[in-house]
Amino acid sequence: MNDTSLERMARRASTDPFFLGFRLAEYSRVHELDEATLAGRLGCEAEVLPMIRLCRAARTDPAGFREDVTCVAEKFGLNSRALAEASKLGVVAIRQEHASVEAPGVLLAARDRKDS
Amino acid sequence: MPLPSTWPTEVESSRLAADLLAGRATASGEIATTFLVPLTNHLRRRFPSADSAQCETAASDALLKTVQPPIRFDPSQLTLGAFLRMVARRKMATLFARDNRHPKKISLEFVAEPIDHRNHSRDDDVPSWDDPRLTTEAAAFNTTETAVLELMRRGVRKRAAFATIPGLAGVTPNELAAEVKRYKDRIKKRLSRAVGGDK
């Protein structure tokens, strides 16, 4: 049960933006990657992915982002450039989501155009 | 890749706690992989009537909650393992409460008096006192009710034993018999309701 229970937990974590799994899921979805391909890009075995997914997502400020990506990459022996790429995409996606939710002016403008 | 099935050493646990509090990016992953199995096993032992999936869900919930801000874990109060066990047990209580919204009939033979003291044995499939619904309800009992319940669980039937309970002492034998019966009936009713029966 060990591996599967960790995988189940990692899948749950991947629905939460707090965890790195959220960004990796977004990256995989956009690039249509399966588990093995994602693991290959990051430079690890697929069985390590659940542990990576359960790590905290990299902070969004440049220094924090670099530090967190390096920390995770060193811990699991990952390609830090690939990990940064996967994490960056998530940052953009989250910012876009927040922008659409937090900027009422944008929504109002869209409605105005639709109504006219 | 096998996960550790035993609790980490004190040194390892302290390191993980320090990493978590320092905001290290890998702390949540390390804590999850280190504690998931021992925490799940702890819940299985603590709640033998619960199924494995419930224990795993509660352990996962506890871990995912503990590693996220706001960090409520305080190493000066508890070790990380003890804190996780506490959170996980609460999660189990929440899961039980959720299940309780769809109550099922559970036998209350475990609080009924034995018909015959001789050859009396406990039925193995009766609900466990690990069931948090029972322990929560029992925790709300007053002193007299708690003492009466304790005697009931031990199968004590002699009135003299009940006469020593505060709240039942100093009454006539007839009054004592009536009072004991009233307490027993009330206790059975409350415990029955707590596990979803006797609506």
Phi, psi of B7 (to 5 degrees): -65, 145
Structure tokens at B28: 């949540």
Residues of A in contact with B33 (CB under 8 A): 6, 51, 54
> Which pLDDT tens digit goes with each residue over B147-186?
788 778 767 777 777 777 777 777 788 888 888 888 888 8
- Which of helix, strand or coil describes residue A108? helix
Strand extents, DSSP E, chain B: none
The pTM assigned to this predicted structure is: 0.62
A51 in reach of chain B (CB within 8 A):
yes
Tally Cβ neighbours within 10 Å of residue A53. 26
The reply to whether ipTM tops 0.90 is: no
Nearest CA in chain B to A17: B68
pLDDT in tens, A32-69: 999 999 999 999 999 999 999 999 999 999 999 999 99
Residues B188 and B112 sit within 8 Å (Cβ to Cβ):
yes
What secondary structure letter does DSSP report for B7? Answer: P
CA distance A114 to chain B (A): 40
Alpha carbon B66 to chain centroid distance? Answer: 21
What's the gap in Å between the CA of A110 and the closest CA on chain B?
A: 35
Judging contacts by C-beta atoms under 8 Å, the chain B residues touching residue A19 are 28
Q: What is the pLDDT of residue B30?
A: 96
Question: B129 is written with which tokens?
Answer: 């006192």
**Amino acid sitting at position B27:** A
DSSP 8-state symbol, B128: P
- Residues pairing with A19 in the sheet: A56
Residue pair B65/B89 in contact (Cβ under 8 Å)? The answer is no
Nearest residue in chain A measured CA to CA from B64? A13
> CA B167, CA B87: separation in Å to the nearest integer?
37
Q: B55, B36 in Cβ contact below 8 A?
A: no
Query: CA dihedral defined by A85, A75, A56, B16, rounded to 10 degrees?
Result: -170
A9 → closest Cβ in B2, B25, B60: B60
The answer, for A47 touching chain B at a CB cutoff of 8 Å, is yes
Residue B193, pLDDT above cutoff 60: yes
Banded pLDDT at B114 (limits 50, 70, 90): low
Measured between CA atoms, how close is A22 to chain B, in angstroms?
13
Residues paired with A56 in a beta bridge? A19
* A19–B60 CB contact, under 8 Å: no
Contact (CB<8Å) B3/A2: yes
Q: A9 and B29 in contact by Cβ < 8 A? A: no
Distance from B71 to chain A by nearest Cα, in Å? 13
